[in-house]
Amino acid sequence: MGALSFSWLALVLGASPTSPSAAEQIQNLDASAQLALLQSGQRSSLELTQAYLLRIEALDQRGPKINAVIERNPDALKQAQARDLARKSGRCGALCGLPILLKDNIDVAGPMATSAGSLALAHHHPLKDAELVQRLLDAGVVILGKTNLSEWANFRSSNSSSGWSSRGGQTRNPHVLDRSPCGSSAGSGAAMAARFAALTVGTETDGSIICPASINGVVGMKPGIGVVSQRGIIPISHSQDSAGPMTASVRDAALLLGAMTATPISLDFTQATLAGKRFGIVRKAMGFDARVDALFDAMVLRMRAAGAELMEVELAHHGEYRADEFTVLKYEFKAGLNEYLGQTGSTVAIKSLTDLIGFNQDNQALVMPWFGQETLLSANALGDLSSPSYLKAARSARQQAGPDGALRALKKHRLDALIAPSNAPAWRVDWVNGDNYGGGDSAIAAVAGYPSITVPMGQIHRLPVGISMIGAPDGDNALLQLAYAFEQLSQARIEPAFRPSLETP
């Protein structure tokens, strides 16, 4: 695969097919470095965009068929040309000319659909961009297309396969193709690992950025709730949903997050350090894989050697909020989806959760060949957001996970962050039995609404595993600084090998 990627990139950029230098400028540099090439005039946005589109064609649609991109933007090359002209006139934003992929539950006005991976919304064309998309376009990005996802952001069935949708099919893990990419932001994570864009955006309610980022071996951040606008994103939960960056590096994550939000995000990492920083090890979030624990404990020793202070901490009510969380998500999903579909302005016939359930029932062979829609049915049977059962569950879950849980530990021990492994190695894709998650605990931050980030920590049989850091409320900037310092220490990111299976060399 390496020779193939070099040859087509060389043709695009005018270099010798035997020389990897031109390819490395695109494929092996993070977005921050690519931006420097654009700003210096060494590369144009049109060249970058052409190169990425060709790479998507060669490795996503053909070749190993990662199937991360659900739809390509027919206007991408026009956008790139416009960015090049704007740069020359000095009227281009902070991400001027960088090609980006967006998860297919984020509204983009124009020719591409916003479907949440569902055939029910295959012809849903929003009339307005999501607020975060407006900000990204103002910053000068080129939208390459949309990424596949677990259908309805993995909120359709408890037996689903991460990265599978009725509209997009199954996304593959570019490290080992028969392994899961996790989800629900499967396409964004796999696309970033396979270098199909300079930057990608995912969304998370609980684990949908952290898991696919870590399993695909990239950086993924779920910002604190409210940092990124939810307007124009197909919802699950207004109390837990957030879009966030999935990138090749922590610096790129900060760069992208800064363009997505009105909240100032620091790009100055000159003072980023582990020395003197205090971390709380959440041991109860571990123990799911002895090999992962060994990698984590070895990394703890390296962090201590770099001057960090680490201690084991207990979180009160750890995990006790999960039942209440699921109750909250079902209530909020029904209310949020009905509002979204009722106000979208699109000509699509699906205007409510009831309509969606009916569509799925009428199209079972196409929509539900492997798993059903019991989560949708359960949500639709509930009342509205004034229901006492919802209000009680919402208060209890957030209090237990946040003020009485993570925040209490952060304050009591004067911690800069909580840490634990992000995941076990990726499991085999299994459409019959569904996902076989091996471990990881994203719910601590997700239910509390606090920022969290995963950074590559190592690999087991060439399958990436990450480390998660959870910060305090409004601590997004501080968390990025810690993650950057850790990244400089670990240097653990690996490039995907596109192996068909672990049994195939």
Q: Which positions are catalytic?
A: 103, 184, 208
Token pair belonging to 74 = 């027919």
DSSP state string for 197-241:
SSEEEEEESSSTTHHHHHHHTSEEEEPPTTSS--TTB--S-TTT-
Burial of residue 115, with CB atoms counted within 10 A of its CB: 0-12 exposed, 13-18 middle, 19 or more buried:
buried
Query: Would the CA dihedral through 345, 348, 353, 355 be positive or negative?
Result: positive
Distance CA 340, CA 345 (A): 9
Residue 163: Cβ-neighbour burial (10 angstroms; 0-12, 13-18, 19+):
buried
Cβ atoms of 489 and 165 within 8 Å: the answer is: no
Q: Are 60 and 7 in contact (CB under 8 A)?
A: no
> What 3 state SS string does 78-106 have?
HHHHHHHHHHHCCCCCCCCCCEEEEECCE
How many Å apart are CA 425 and CA 109, to the nearest integer? 37
Contact 260, 136 (CB under 8 A): yes
CA distances from 132 to 45, 82, 421, 476 (A): 21, 20, 29, 17
Distance CA 8, CA 186 (A): 26
User: Which pair of structure tokens corresponds to residue 97?
Assistant: 């000319």
| Residues 146 and 197: beta-carbon distance below 8 Å | no
